Amino acid sequence: MTEKNQKNNSEETSLEDKKYQNPELKKADVPQAPSPADTKEMQEMRAKLEGLKKYINKKHKSVSGIGIIPPQAAEMFDDENELTEEERKEKPMHLVVVLPNDKEKEFNEVKLDILKKI
C-alpha cells in the first residue's frame, strides 16, 4: 500500500504533468539580445571609456577608483545636483572618480583635467 501511495505521489508531482506547467511563463517578454548597431555602439563607448581610464590613471596616480553610475541611479544624482532638463538630456552618464582623503586638495585639478579630456 505504501508503494502505491509513493507511486501516486511521484505522478502527482511530476514536472512533466501539464497541470504544473505555467502557461504565463511561455508568453512572458524575454529580453532580446542587443542589435548589431547597439553592440557596435557599446563597443565604441567601451573603447572611449577605456582610453579615458588609461589617461586618468597615467596622469593622476592618486586616483584609487573609476566607475560609472548606472542609468537607474543617475536620476538621483541629477536631482541632488539640481540639473535642469536641458542638462539632464546633455549628460548621458555620470563618471565617479575616487581619490584618497589625503589627496582631497587635488580634486578640482583632477576634475578640470577630466572635463578637458572629455
Residue 36 pLDDT: 81
d(CA 59, CA 66): 14
Global model pTM greater than 0.85: no
46, pLDDT greater than 80: yes
pLDDT band, residue 111 (cuts 50/70/90) = confident
Exposed e or buried b for every residue in 22-59, given b needs 16+ CB within 10 A? Answer: eeeeeeeeeeeeeeeeeeeeeeeeeeeeeeeeeebeee
108, pLDDT greater than 60: yes
Q: C-alpha cell of 57?
A: 590613471
Q: What is the pLDDT of residues 11-22, one digit of tens each?
A: 556 656 665 556
